[in-house]
A and B are shown apart, each in its own frame.
Chain A
């Protein structure tokens, strides 16, 4: 897998505010997946992006893959306390290695 940088490392928001986490790579990504890990839990798959410029939505979550396939973002509109957790991006390289971003820990103040 390639080096994938994820920012920010932490984000604290008031309930109802929006939240965005970003994954960036210096090289072209073949695809990117997003996972969510609740506190004390294990990572759970959210979505996969493959095409340049792809945008996918899941209720209040919007996922984007950059035109150059070097970056991706996860945006949550009007956060809720149930959104609390760590969000990871994952690049599945062609060499079978999997490289996770370091994750963004989201906390939500009710």
Chain B
């Protein structure tokens, strides 16, 4: 089954404790990206990757890191989480960056930083 898998689905952590949210897709997609979703602000892009070893900042990259060492995986790293990073996070992938490509989203990760 074609899917994007995020882990964990829920996470409560403390300020400053490094964490990684994993994202994996089994569709051989080139383009992957991370979003955070906050009430009233919609979905905002954090980072994106056009292919292996190629990443770039989205609209809200501060406090986040990503890596793309393999095509299927695109982890999101919070080196020192802060309470303002409490949010619902989505990973998404698409076949390419062309116009005629739909985005497939993971199930989401609800992160709480206390």
Q: Which residues of A contact B50 (CB under 8 A)?
A: 96
Q: How far is the CA of A32 from the CA of B26 in the complex (A)?
A: 25
CB distance A50 to B100 under 8 Å? yes
Q: Which residues of B contact A42 (CB under 8 A)?
A: 90, 105-108
A59 within 8 A of B: no
A99–chain B nearest beta-carbon distance, Å: 7
Q: Which residues of A contact B44 (CB under 8 A)?
A: 100
Q: How many A-B contacts if CB must be within 8 Å? A: 62
Instruction: Report how many residues on chain B are interfacial, defined by Cβ distance under 8 Å.
Output: 27
Interface residue range, chain A: 20 to 34
Given A42-B90, A44-B105: A97 in contact with B99 (beta carbons within 8 A): no
Which of B33, B35, B42, B56 has a CB less than 8 Å from the CB of A102?
A: B42
A48–chain B nearest beta-carbon distance, Å: 7
CB distance A96 to B56 under 8 Å? yes
A92 within 8 A of B: yes
B103 within 8 A of A: yes
CB distance B48 to A97 under 8 Å? yes
Give residues 91-114 of B contacting A (CB, 8 Å).
92, 97, 99-108
CB distance A97 to B58 under 8 Å? yes
CB distance A100 to B43 under 8 Å? yes
Give chain A's interface residues, CB within 8 Å of chain B. Answer: 1, 6, 9, 30-31, 33, 35, 41-45, 48, 50, 88, 90, 92, 96-103
- Known A35-B103, A43-B90, A102-B41; 5 more pairs at CB < 8 Å: A42-B107, A44-B105, A48-B99, A98-B45, A100-B43
